[in-house]
């Protein structure tokens, strides 16, 4: 692994928690902190990609949503469904 030394100032309670979890998992705090940072960075990168693509998660339902940048009314949906039904015939 190509490693780089980095010093972080984190709250003592967080450092203690990382040490405790690392001990429970049978690893060291540096390895565990690196794993946590990697997971957080991956999640942030995915969230950024989803934001750029218009995909997000609805906070009330937890379902993915897509934004095309325009409002779609009930009438628009009805027209699309009717068009879809006619196309399928």
Higher pLDDT, 66 or 14: 14
Rounded to an integer, what distance in angstroms lies between the CA atom of residue 13 and that of residue 3?
A: 26
Q: Is a pLDDT exceeding 90 seen at residue 72?
A: no
pLDDT of residue 58: 82
Higher pLDDT, 41 or 53: 41
pLDDT of residue 55: 75
User: Could you write out the DSSP letters of every residue in the chain?
Assistant: -----------HHHHHHHHHHHHHHTS-HHHHHHHHHHHHHHHHHHHHHHHHHTEEE-TTT--EEE--SS---HHHHHHHHHHHHHHT-
Rounded to an integer, what distance in angstroms lies between the CA atom of residue 72 and that of residue 40?
A: 34
pTM exceeding 0.85 = no
Q: Where are the domains of the chain?
A: 12-54
């Amino acid at each position: 692994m190509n490693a780089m030394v980095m010093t972080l100032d984190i709250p003592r309670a967080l450092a203690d928690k990382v040490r405790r979890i690392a001990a429970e998992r049978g690893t060291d705090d540096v390895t565990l902190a690196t794993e946590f940072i990697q997971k957080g960075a991956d999640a942030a990168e995915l969230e950024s990609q989803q934001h750029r693509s218009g995909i997000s998660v609805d906070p009330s339902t937890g379902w993915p949503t897509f934004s095309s940048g325009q409002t779609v009314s009930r009438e628009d949906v009805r027209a699309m469904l009717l068009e879809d039904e006619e196309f399928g015939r």
